[in-house]
Structure 1
Amino acid sequence: MQNFLKTEILSKSLELLSKYPLCDSCLGRCFARLSLGHSNEERGKAIKILLLMEIDKAIKEHKIEDLPQIKEVLYNMGEISLTLYKNYFNDEFQNRSCYICDNRINEFKENFLKKALEKIGNNKTFVLGVKLTDELKNREEKFMVENQLFYYESIKNEIKRDVGKKLANMGFIPEFDNPQVELVYDMEYDTVIVFTKSKKYLAFYNRLSRGIPISSWVSKGGESLESLLSTQVVAPYSEASEYRIIDDYPLIIENITEKQVNLQGFHITVVSKIAGKELSTIFTIKPTRRLYRVTVYSDEEIKEGIKIYDKIYDIFIEAKDFKELREKIKNYQVISIDLISTVGKSKLVADTYIKKNFS
């Protein structure tokens, strides 16, 4: 079907749209490093219009022998292909959500802008950040690698840039080196984290008690590590609050001078001040695999487990993330879960910083 296309961009776009539904922005972002000065939405819409013209021409010239095979492409283009679809097919058009953003990219931008304006206060200079959900980050990385998209741009860069432009048009000033305020949009919790001009410290923590989350906004009326420390705390990655964490997990803490902190189930080791690229790097490095100790109740003997009392066993399970862990333990009666250790660059970072500061 692709032999009627003569440009690499159109050919690659047809290949992508044969497999994935993509909104204008997410398709355009596949070629974001080409034709600078245009938005990804403009790129994606232009590609779709030109592709529709090529498809229509190929149909009219009988270069597409199996007409039904083009249906998937038209479905995956979205509403822009509806007129052409009705010209050649009588059945109902399928509306599909974008594989990358679920048709929510404009919603993300609007939410970020609204919440940023609520929190920017009297600060004039700013810098923006976006923390993707693990699911979106992994899906986007897999999409980029599997399809060899050399000109791809992350969705978080698009969100930061477009929201930053709107703030700039309102009189606020982007300042990357020494901003008065840093606004980070956390997509998982649909909230904006505010870092004012203050000292940020990298720390590593162990959570030895269950039920205490890191951040106040996910605490259901109870305590959080943030409230216990009485300062802002951000975790680049974490575990559910009912899991104990034995391994060293990173934290970014504002304005703290102690080197070792112990309070209500947390042990915290503060290692150094952190800023700029070093801070950004910490947020991008996460474990590749995690080892959990899961305590379960079982009437039957669990041969691979360690019997600790009567019908209670400890089993050790390796998983990429909580979703994989949940799938592996779905047939067990779970009593408790502990994160024991991790594998990946994040472990190397923790070991390096702690050894450097406490050897």
Structure 2
Amino acid sequence: MPEFEWRGDDIHFYDAPEASSLTNIQGQYCEIEMPSFLVEELDLQRLQELIKTHPSISRAAILFSDMNWSLEFEAAGQISLEMAIRNAIPFPRETFESICSATFSNIGGIVNHAFPEPLMGAEGLWIASITLLDHSLTVRQARDKAKELTTEVSISQGDNGLPTRSFVLHALRSGDLDRIIGQEENSWLEFKSYVDLSHEASKVELAQDVARFANAESGGILAIGFRTEKVNRKDVVAKVTPIKFDSGIQERVQGIIDQRVYPPMRGLEIFKTPQKGDLCVLSIVVPPQLEHEKPFLVHGAIVAGKTEGVFFSVVRRRGEGSIPVTAREVHSMLAAGYGILRRSKE
């Protein structure tokens, strides 16, 4: 395991003596710049102990030169991950915070703040700060989560050349919808050519579409105004088919979801992409949701082609399709939640 020691105000790495770092000590505070691979296998607690072996340092920041992120070590023992994400999708702040929370929640991360930073002269720059409660995490694990968040919210294409969620969202927001033609439906993306909200069955179906993404691991996007065709057994966008919605369609859709999906979803976003005339495409973005708030239930179910208002349904997304959550799985979730509640009261 690579470890280091202070030699004066310089750092010496035992396993990489030729490696160097830049240090800037100001009173009891120190900034250290280094590549993350030099300490990636160290857990945060050990790294904090090594830093504080310097006789005058009580607070420090490690700036990792291979990514725009850093670890902040406070005198009281708190450790936080700070990061700057460039070329980010212009999410509403609440949506960005929700994505940050869902990304870091499974490693004990709590979002301190997440906001756009227009003062630094970089369009699409977001600043995020996450407190890391689990100090047994390694630097590698913290770095991987930082990369995951960057991939989630940046405008880019994936390593395999296929459009990422960020790429699709950027196309929807910018109005460059032709870039979505040829895109396949998948676990986080569904297209519809039209939605009729005048019937109860259609309202239940819309609520189920949204709840599927909320119950999935990574959320998803429902885009209305695209015609798909089957290509190699997959639904692929063949044409943009914008539709005419009334001026209050976003509020109406939000009302249907609020009325029929429980618990309320964090960071849900509904927006229109104007097209020629009074036509538009409607998009519903469901950020990843916190695991302890699942499953998301839908008030109403479609049974044998009929809408049953006194029933509730639980669905989730798998691949291109959807699968119902079984009674056994619902019972397991309820039992697990009851167990956690009971232990918290002991």
Higher helix share: 1
TM-score range, shorter chain: under 0.3
| Greater Rg over alpha carbons, structure | 1
Q: What is the TM-score with the length of structure 1 in the denominator? A: 0.25
Q: What is the TM-score with the length of structure 2 in the denominator? A: 0.26
Higher strand share: 2
